Amino acid sequence: MKVVLVSAVALIDRDGRVLLAQRPEGKSMAGLWEFPGGKVEPGERPEDALIRELDEELGINTWSSCLAPLTFASHAYDDFHLLMPLFACRKWEGTPSPREGQTLAWAFPRELRNYPMPPADIPLIPILRDWL
């Protein structure tokens, strides 16, 4: 089974809320909410992939020094196995805005369960809730 490496981030605002993005129509798992991020390209570090994806998807800039490794997801889907490091980030430049048709929402950790998520993201919720 193919292993897919995806880097994701919990962007945490001053109020302690976490940014979620809703997958747009036409993508797999459309309508589900996820932590921003994306696939790590061959030869790319997970942190660099995240910095690139945040610029492309949300129009914000951050730095490796602002990305703290928090936890990871390891989940077997039908046709691939997802390995997803989750970083925490409290410092970035710019205001997150949806650049790829997605809907954005800021949620307090205790509210994350109210957002339907892909199976790989669900085990990350209690870790975020306890950590924040």
pLDDT value, residue 26: 85
One-letter amino acid of 102: Q
Would you say 98 and 15 are in contact if contact means Cβ atoms under 8 Å apart? no
E strands along the chain, which residues? Answer: 3-11, 18-22, 33-34, 37-39, 68-76, 81-89, 103-107
Domains of the chain: 3-131 (3.90.79.10)
Query: How confident is the model at residue 119, as a pLDDT?
Result: 94
28 CB-near residues (< 8 Å, 6+ apart): none
What is the CB neighbour count within 10 angstroms for residue 23? 19
- The string of DSSP letters for 35-62 reads -SEEEPPTT--HHHHHHHHHHHHH--B-
Per-residue pLDDT of the chain (132 residues; tens, 9 = 90+): 899 999 999 999 999 999 999 998 888 889 999 999 999 999 999 999 999 999 999 999 999 999 999 999 999 999 999 999 999 999 999 999 999 889 999 999 999 999 999 999 999 999 999 988
Per-residue pLDDT at 127 = 93
Residue 68 is predicted with a pLDDT of 97
The whole-angstrom separation of Cα 28 and Cα 17 is 26
pTM summary value: 0.93
DSSP-derived secondary structure letter, 129: H
Backbone angles phi, psi at 16, to 5 degrees: 85, 15
